[in-house]
Amino acid sequence: MLKFGCSRNTHLARVVFSLMFLTFLCLPQQSLFAQEGTQKWAFDTGGSIQSSPAIGDEGIIYVGSTDDHLYAIQPDGTQKWRFDTGGNVTQPPAIADDGTIYVGTNDGKVVALNPDGSVKWAFDSGLDAQMTGVMAIAADGTIYAPIGGSSNAMIFAIHPDGSRFWTFDPPTTTFGISIGTDGVVLFGDAGGVLYALNSTGARQWDLDVGPGIASAPSLAEDGTIYVTSGSNTNNVTAVNPDGTLKWQVTVGRATRSLSTAVDGDIYLPVAAGATSGALVALNPANGTENWRFETAARVQTAPAVGFDGTIYFGTDTEELFALRPNGTQRWAFEVGGDIQSSPTIAPDGTVYFGSNDSNFYALRSSSSGLAASSWPKLQRDVRNTGRFGSDVTRRRWFAPHVFWLDDENKAIATIRHTGGSAGGATGSTASFRIDVLNRDGSVNFSVNDSVEPGETKDIVLTAPDSSIHVGAAMLDASVTDGIFLAPFLTWQLDVKGMPAPLQIGAFFSDPTDAALVHHFPAEASDRNGLGIAVQNIGDNEIQCSLEFFNADGTMQAEEILDLDPLGSVVDFFNSSLPDGFKGSATFSCDAPVVVVAVNQDFSNGNFPTDRITIKGQK
């Protein structure tokens, strides 16, 4: 938590932000954002919640309960509607790009619901059996659903209109489906065989990885497929996109799908014993263990990785844990029952999950949405599509600008599309939403728009009332054809008489130590430098340090710089690193400063000093 001292006539202001290092401010005592790890609200469904939530348009959350209902819950925690499924809902719903919500029932049906809760269609598999794992939605809208047990297991491909496309008959139960590169349908069965089918249901390849596959595959940025086995073998297996074995390691009985971090690290929930568990971080290159966080009970949720690198997961100790990327605990939140509902993270940073105490929880966090990684949560995205490179990929690339609106109650946000690539293609339209937040973190008003490659737009933010508004502006950007692979937007917030502070999308702020933390990718030979431009606008000298740490936590290098008071000249940190360096960099100062620019490869020397420009980086 960053603390800012103000004049004698004002109180100490506390401001907590994800993805930012804040300039010197003087605000009243009320905080802009409430403390992370605290409850926003809880919604009682009347039955245990094992289903993982999906988030649709307008922030509506959809989650199933063992009270035989699928719930649609507003972002404020009130019920929008509920749908009677006729039986327990333990598998997560999934949401198509057109907003259709799909839910499986325990009598062999897949039901499609409109956003208002009305039934669009119901597909009857003809099996009097439940859905046994997570479903997936292809880019063309095809729904893939695993239904049936060991004696009647089937994979159903369903057209968006509810008609049957094709079926595949595996020899035994399957527990979840994912969609890989080129639309390949991926799933494993309890016998230990990983299958790859093309979009018409023809088998491309299969690979025996060992018995007990009990979760859907996850994917790395390069298309590597990860699958976990929990019976006898206790293996994690990495498979190349062509179906050949990449590596296999034994880590403990995996309980759910794994997730990936921005730097490619793998986070895996395991059962260390009958009554204990752990979250394990693995090196994606060879599966070696980076760290292990042990818990007093089993971990039965897939972790969700936030944009600031925080990892969230639940346990049978009735706690939701938040860990730093190095495996140390940030905080834990206690509930009244086991947590088997894998969490998700909304773009505003709210962490959603359910518990066996019948409550669905919303917690505050520092994470401004999911990590910009290949597979940050169960079924990859907030809609639970289970699709690699989802067509609707939303990223909150930038943390809040803090500002006062000017005398006319206005501010101007300048958005420019730099033409960066998305999903391997350039020239994609970028949609965005700017949320103007109140000091308590609630949304005051929003502006929705889009920008074309090379286009610049000035968006006038006008508060709906006549009062001078003190708050923050959050930019939530989306692109229509996949994962962002390069910087693609810059934005600037202009407010009369107020120097806007800068936040960098690729840098993470940890309120515990008030530092920017950057995680280097596994292959960094072409990005072996880091530059940070900062300015001291305070009355006293400030000392800042830039520390580089290897993956094992040992220090690689350190630079220290003293900043003169009220500096008119921007000071630079420039540090060279060994080729292929993989680790992290931490930048901190003993007082607030303005961070003017950050560049991972400082050799191009492009630090803007005449204005505040934010460049989102993956």
The DSSP-derived string for 207-244 is: EE--S-B-S--EE-TTS-EEEEB-SSS-EEEEE-TTS-
Rounded distance between C-alpha atoms, residue 512 and residue 252, angstroms: 31
| CA atoms in the 13 A half-sphere facing the CB of 497 | 7
* Of residues 194 and 395, more confidently modeled: 194
**Are the CB atoms for 221 and 374 separated by under 8 Å?**
yes
What 539-544 contacts at long range (C-beta under 8 Å, 24+ apart), as own/partner pairs, is 539/565, 539/566, 540/565, 540/591, 541/565, 542/589, 542/590, 542/591, 542/593, 543/589, 543/590, 544/573, 544/587, 544/588, 544/589, 544/590, 544/593
- The amino acid present at 126, given as its one-letter code, is G
Phi, psi of 58 (to 5 degrees): 60, 20
Q: What is the pLDDT of residues 406-452, one digit of tens each?
A: 555 666 777 777 654 333 334 567 777 776 665 444 567 778 888 87
Rounded distance between C-alpha atoms, residue 368 and residue 359, angstroms: 23
pLDDT of residue 331: 94
Partner residues linked to 574 by β-bridges: 531
Beta strand extents in 59-107 (DSSP E only): 61-65, 69-73, 79-84, 94-95, 101-104
Give whole-number Cα distances, 525 to 120, 522, 554, 569, 580, in Å: 51, 9, 20, 31, 4
Rounded distance between C-alpha atoms, residue 480 and residue 454, angstroms: 17
Provide the percentage of residues in the chain whose pLDDT is more than 70.
64
Rounded distance between C-alpha atoms, residue 95 and residue 112, angstroms: 9
What's the whole-model pTM score? 0.68
Tokens of 271: 């059962």
Instruction: Indicate whether 524 pLDDT > 50.
Output: no
Rounded distance between C-alpha atoms, residue 181 and residue 223, angstroms: 6
**609: CB partners within 8 A, 6+ apart:** 533, 570, 596, 597
**Are the CB atoms for 598 and 506 separated by under 8 Å?**
yes
pLDDT of residue 370: 83
Burial profile 102-135: b = 16 or more Cβ within 10 angstroms, e = fewer: bbbbbbbbbbbbebeeeeeeebebebebbbbbbb
Tokens of 78: 């009130």
Partner residues linked to 393 by β-bridges: 479
Q: What is the pLDDT of residues 181-224, one digit of tens each?
A: 889 999 999 899 999 999 999 999 999 998 888 889 999 988 99
Burial of 424 (0-12, 13-18, 19+ CB in 10 A): exposed
Rounded distance between C-alpha atoms, residue 29 and residue 330, angstroms: 24
Query: Model confidence at 556, in pLDDT bands (50, 70, 90)?
Result: confident
If DSSP codes are grouped into helix, strand and coil, which group holds residue 43?
strand
- Going by their DSSP bridges, the two strands 542-550 and 614-615 should be labelled as unpaired
H-run or E-run covering 412? strand 410-417
Give whole-number Cα distances, 105 to 85, 114, 379, in Å: 6, 17, 19
Phi, psi of 287 (to 5 degrees): 85, 5
Rounded distance between C-alpha atoms, residue 304 and residue 129, angstroms: 29
If DSSP codes are grouped into helix, strand and coil, which group holds residue 57?
helix
pLDDT of residue 327: 92
pLDDT of residue 612: 23
15: nearest Cα among 472, 492, 522: 472
If DSSP codes are grouped into helix, strand and coil, which group holds residue 158?
strand
Q: Percentages helix, strand, coil for the chain, rounded to the nearest 5?
A: 0, 45, 55
* Of residues 405 and 336, more confidently modeled: 336
Query: Model confidence at 502, in pLDDT bands (50, 70, 90)?
Result: very low
Burial of 202 (0-12, 13-18, 19+ CB in 10 A): exposed
Count of beta carbons in the 10 Å neighbourhood of residue 191: 17
* Of residues 607 and 211, more confidently modeled: 211
Rounded distance between C-alpha atoms, residue 345 and residue 595, angstroms: 27
Tokens of 545: 């340090």
Burial of 440 (0-12, 13-18, 19+ CB in 10 A): exposed
Instruction: Indicate whether 312 pLDDT > 90.
Output: yes
pLDDT of residue 117: 97
Question: What mean pLDDT do residues 338-349 have?
Answer: 90
pLDDT of residue 164: 97
pLDDT of residue 304: 96
Residue-level length of the chain: 618
Instruction: Indicate whether 167 pLDDT > 60.
Output: yes
Give, in degrees to the nearest 5, the angle at Cα 537 between 3 and 27. 40
